[in-house]
Amino acid sequence: MAVPHRRHRTSLESVIVPEPQHLTAEEHGKATELFNTIIHFFEPLQESTKEYKPITLVRLTKEEISVKDEFLLLFFTFIERDRLGISEDEQKKICLAETLWNMQNFQRWTNEERHALDHSLVKFAMYLIDNFFLPLKALATKTPQPTPASVSRLLSSEPAIGTPQRVSNLRHLCLVRDRHRCVITRKFDALEGEARYNIHGDQLTDDEGNSLLPESSDMALLEVAHIIPHSLMSLSNIEGEPKLTERKHIAHKILKMFNPTAFHLIEGTDIDRPMNALTLTHDLHRLFGNFEVAFEPVQNQEHTYRIDFVKTKRIWRAYNLPVTRELFITPDRNIEPPLRQLLEIHRAIARILHLSAAGEHIDRVIQDMEKLKVEPVYSDGSSRIGEYINYKLAHQLGWTHVH
């Protein structure tokens, strides 16, 4: 049964977004200046572990996000609470003006005090990894692919995120929109090709009426790939009610800093809309989900992207990348195209992970956890990996303990 196409609001201007926290112009100026001074002082001195650069991660995150005030508030609140030894459970409110005043002369502090501040910066990087970057990387390649059994349940009314019905609907819409081709390689979907061959024999054609016979040995099994992982929006059973875990609340807060309007377009079950998905081969789904391949918008060319490996210096360069592709659009636009702002968020995250070497660090940690047969991140976003990361970094940086 064909899945009905639904028109959706895609204009970012039509979304009502809660106002983010704003600093006054004076507060913003002072906070930005102090942040830059702190980063410029400590970044050259950071003790990188296997090239992972935690303070570089903090700097790059601030550079890539669009809501600077919220990030500065999060940064200075975290640093001051850690510096003063205030636990997360304590409700004491941190005054930004007082924090900036206390820290403005950090370069005149004792070596012990500066070391403590350096320690706090690395712990803030851990906070970003544990609550945001790690779940993104660990879950991004896990878009559930529909199976024959799941397709048979399409009539289910279950509204939850990532259900077989929703994923099957999404895969159908993306395949139709993308003309049953991988948006990067342009390989035709092998399952669809086989189905058409069973009906039309040697007369089978693609969505544009061209013969598929010349491509018979070059098709591929295609998958639907979320741009922003669907599991970031899934709810957990907390006290008998479906709610976001504390970890996901933090992840949402950070994700919104990249583009709050785009975030609100994919809240809840809207995460499974075609604007947040691409049709890819299995291998490219894995590379894209692991933030190793990214889409860079081409200026003044709508729906056109330069697609390349984020780490350009590498031994394995498959798929003829870089390549420039104009993404397919349905004639009546009744299926949303991939949203440029979401692809920009994906690329920004990829750049942060690559340039700070945090991506490779996270990959190693996940591999270590898999060797221990411990799931790095559960589907509800909870994890024991934060403690493991803290332990590993504490050992590598020579700390006796990590709070």
Same domain, 170 and 316: yes
Same domain, 36 and 126: yes
Same domain, 180 and 323: yes
CA distance 65 to 73: 13
CA distance 262 to 228: 11
CA distance 20 to 263: 13
Are the CB atoms for 6 and 332 separated by under 8 Å? no
User: What pLDDT is recorded for position 22?
Assistant: 84
Same domain, 245 and 170: yes
**What tens-digit pLDDT sequence spans the chain (403 residues)?**
344 444 444 444 444 444 567 899 999 999 999 999 999 999 998 865 558 899 999 999 999 999 999 999 999 999 999 988 887 666 677 889 999 999 999 999 999 999 999 999 999 999 999 889 988 887 665 555 554 444 344 333 344 555 678 889 999 999 999 999 999 999 999 999 999 999 999 999 999 999 999 999 999 999 999 999 877 776 655 556 556 777 888 889 999 999 999 988 988 888 999 999 999 999 999 999 999 999 999 999 999 999 999 998 877 777 889 999 999 999 888 999 999 999 999 999 999 999 999 998 888 887 777 776 655 555 544 555 555 555 454 444 444 333 3
**Is residue 111 domain-resident?**
yes
**Is residue 254 domain-resident?**
yes
CA atoms 259, 263, 265, 266: torsion sign? positive
Same domain, 125 and 240: no
Question: How many degrees, rounded to 5, is the angle at CA 278 between CA 148 and CA 139?
Answer: 75
217-226 b/e (C-beta count within 10 Å ≥ 16 → b): eebbebbbbb
**Is residue 42 domain-resident?**
yes
**Is residue 213 domain-resident?**
no
Same domain, 134 and 172: no
**Is residue 214 domain-resident?**
no
Give the CA dihedral 202, 208, 214, 218, nearest 10 degrees.
-110
CA distance 161 to 273: 11
CA distance 3 to 146: 14
Are the CB atoms for 266 and 342 separated by under 8 Å? yes
Same domain, 171 and 84: no
**Is residue 48 domain-resident?**
yes
Residue with tokens 């779940």: 135
Q: Where are the alpha helices (DSSP H) in 65-207?
A: 68-84, 96-103, 111-128, 134-139, 148-151, 164-177, 190-200
Same domain, 136 and 240: no
- 257: containing domain: 164-185+220-356
Domain final position from 106, 140, 174 = 140
CA 372 from centroid of its chain's CA atoms: 25
CA 394 from centroid of its chain's CA atoms: 26
Same domain, 310 and 179: yes
What are the structure tokens assigned to 179, written together? 């003309």
Angle between helix axes 246-258 and 68-84 (nearest 10 degrees) is: 140
Same domain, 92 and 174: no
Same domain, 107 and 253: no
Q: Is the peptide bond before 146 cis (omega within 30 degrees of 0)?
A: no
CA distance 138 to 289: 9
CA distance 31 to 216: 60
Same domain, 170 and 251: yes
What DSSP designation does 322 have? Answer: S
What are the structure tokens assigned to 23, written together? 């600093």
228: left (phi over 0), alpha (psi -120 to 50) or beta: beta
Domain total for the chain?
2
